[in-house]
Amino acid sequence: MKLGLYGINLGACIDPAAAIAVARAAEAAGYDSVWTAEHVVLPDPRTPESPIPAQTPLLDPAVALAHVASHTRTLRLATGIIILPQRNPVVLAKELASVDVVSGGRLIFGVGAGYIPAEFAAIGARFDERGERTNESIEVIRALWTLDKPRFQGRFHSFADVDAQPRPLQKPHPPIVVGGMSPPAYRRAVRQGNGWYGFGLDLDATARCLEGLREAGKRVERPAALGDLEISVTPAGAVDRDTFERFAALGVDRLVIFAPGGTADEAVASVERGAELLA
């Protein structure tokens, strides 16, 4: 099982030098990837569904990953996740293709539909359309990344006689990882994703999610070109070697541990302790 690190754009990693130190430590220790969070805005005062206080700094995922890319060589760079229905997918396709190019082809594109109404209201996006917009936006981005002459006709987006260069280095495109723990998210992952990502899960919750993915696979067709669905999970709480192996036994392909630390030194020490799981 692969080991990833969550939080390269928050906590101690808000400081650019700390992010470099943490990313380099993760790469040296054998982690395969670093992952970002995203909330463009958060409700203030905090509402029950909000995961963190509104005053929590979060660097933009593309900016944070491009910064880390220039100081690493092999580490995969994952958005975990971008709230896709809040973004213009045509603009986002260019931003993330650029990250893939400057990183030498290391982007993992993680997406989700979002769940905080106040975020959508502030951005001017329809909360009730988020699922349909997410599905369509994935296809918009795939068209811009892969078609010789990009064109698309959908409910929310349409274009023809345009192009967007450069294209991502990865072919046919960077892996698309669908986040979420609901039946629509499971169906989206099966139908449109190279992978699925679950956040803050213990072993029992992970098992339930994997069963949800299996059930979705009975209801929607998975394109053969997508291959096997890669499973990534950020676990709830600390993980020891036994727990690591139990996640692997469930069928998890990558454990993305949360270890940003309060300071750069603490974050690096946490990364090095996490690497013991790979021993």
**H helix or E strand, kind and range, residue 273:** helix 264-274
145 or 261: whose pLDDT is higher?
Answer: 145
DSSP 115-133: --HHHHHHHT--GGGHHHH
Closest to 7 measured CA to CA, from 199, 240, 252, 273: 199
φ/ψ region of 205 (left if φ > 0, alpha if ψ in -120 to 50, else beta) reads alpha
157 or 261: whose pLDDT is higher?
Answer: 157
* pLDDT at residue 153 is higher than 90: yes
Instruction: Report the distance separating Cα 78 and Cα 26, nearest Å.
Output: 14
**Lowest-confidence pick of 126-130, 192-196, 206-210, 263-267:** 263-267
Outline where DSSP puts E strands in the chain.
2-6, 33-36, 76-79, 82-83, 107-112, 152-153, 158-159, 176-179, 195-201, 230-235, 254-258
* pLDDT at residue 260 is higher than 90: no
pLDDT at 257: 97
pLDDT at 262: 87
Instruction: Give CA separation, 45 vs 38, 39, 55, 59, 89, in Å.
Output: 18, 15, 10, 21, 30
Instruction: Report the distance separating Cα 72 and Cα 26, nearest Å.
Output: 10
pLDDT at 261: 76
The C-alpha R_g of the chain, in whole angstroms, comes to 18
How far from the centroid of its chain's Cα atoms is residue 17's Cα? Answer: 23
pLDDT at 237: 87
Q: Cβ neighbours of residue 36 under 8 Å, at least 6 residues apart?
A: 7, 8, 9, 10, 59, 61, 64, 65, 78, 79, 80
pLDDT at 108: 99
pLDDT at 57: 96
Instruction: Give CA separation, 125 vs 45, 85, 138, 196, in Å.
Output: 21, 7, 16, 24
Percent of the chain with pLDDT over 70: 100
- The tens digit of pLDDT for each residue in 235-253 reads 998 899 999 999 999 999 9
Closest to 7 measured CA to CA, from 200, 276, 206: 200
pLDDT at 154: 98
Q: How far apart are the first and last CA of the chain?
A: 11
* pLDDT at residue 279 is higher than 90: no
Mean pLDDT over the full length of the chain: 97
Instruction: Report the distance separating Cα 71 and Cα 247, nearest Å.
Output: 31
Q: Which fold has domain 2-278?
A: TIM Barrel (3.20.20)
φ/ψ region of 4 (left if φ > 0, alpha if ψ in -120 to 50, else beta) reads beta
Tokens of 277: 């799981």
Q: Predicted confidence band at 219 (pLDDT cuts at 50, 70, 90)? A: very high
Domain boundaries of the chain, sorted by first residue: 2-278
Average pLDDT on 101-106 reads 98
Q: Has this prediction a pTM greater than 0.75? A: yes
For residue 173, give the DSSP letter.
Answer: -
